[in-house]
Amino acid sequence: MLGTVIAVTVIAAVGGTGLGGLLGVVLKRESEKIVSLLLSFAAGVMIAICFFDLLPEAMDGASVRVVVAGALAGYLVVQGLNYLIDRHANPEVPHIDKAHPKTADDLGELIHANHLEVHKQQGSRRELFVAGIVMACAIALHNIPEGMVIGASYAAGGTAASSLAMATVIGLHNVPEGMAVSVPLVSGGMSRSSAVLLTALTGAPTVIGAVAGYYLGTMSPVMLALALSFAGGAMLNVSFSELLPESILMWRSKLPAFAVMVGIFVGMAIVFA
């Protein structure tokens, strides 16, 4: 079983960030709508699995207070890591001027692609390269708690479809992160192939989290409950703080909301089928 957990995690994490890295260097504007719908759909599936699978399963082995505390811990850990990423990566990729909004307006803002010419005028290629390396390290650390979700899902003994669905949505979630890493690396002078490879490798630490989540989940019912609730809180943060905002930034339309609903229904079907 552990071999399956590792294999699935490698495909989801390394594959997702690698795909994002590839899109970051070859992205076409019309691709944004497709990515937006995929992210919205993934958020819906993730929300459904959290509320209908992970958290109810956790409550079978612990009290409501323990589950809530575990979910809150998972949420705060991911939120803290996101804060560190923003704090340490954004200064390397400054905004154009004081009047420019500090929040992303579209996908170009999200991955800083539409700032590159200004960055080249304001800073050296080395600074852009360092920005990409900082982002890569931060995202690699960020991926560890996400790996716990996959490991805990398998440790809970749920359906194979539910565990694979969670791994898939995590892989989709990694796509924009891969784009955020590859763009400054290429602009800093790294070849496209090397940038995509390095970006893909940022997903490798997810395996550490997956193994930890799996072993914690097999220790005792209480530890399984804590692992599942922590994973649920982490995924709720990913859904509401990352996937949904990113999907809206990529395509300001009502269709992403519809994709979320479809994702929720699909997630329910996966859990209860």
What is d(CA 71, CA 82) in angstroms, rounded to the nearest whole number?
A: 17
Highest mean pLDDT among 157-166, 187-196, 214-223: 214-223
- Closest by CA to 162, choosing from 57, 34, 69, is 57
Distances (CA, A) of 233 to 69, 71, 182, 258: 9, 4, 28, 24
Domain boundaries, the chain: 2-23+46-272
Cα(142)–Cα(50) distance, integer angstroms: 19
Q: Residue 200: which of 22, 46, 3, 6 has the closest Cα?
A: 22
User: What is the share, in percent, of the chain residues with pLDDT greater than 70?
Assistant: 76
What whole-number distance in Å separates Cα of residue 107 and Cα of residue 3?
36
Structure tokens belonging to residue 144: 């560890």
At 59-102, the pLDDT tens digits run 988 899 999 999 999 999 988 887 776 665 554 445 555 555 55
Average pLDDT over residues 22-28: 72
Kindly report, residue by residue over 1-24, the tens digit of the pLDDT: 788 888 888 888 888 888 888 877
Give 149's pLDDT tier (boundaries 50, 70, 90): confident
CA distance 270 to 273: 6
What's the mean per-residue pLDDT of the chain? 78
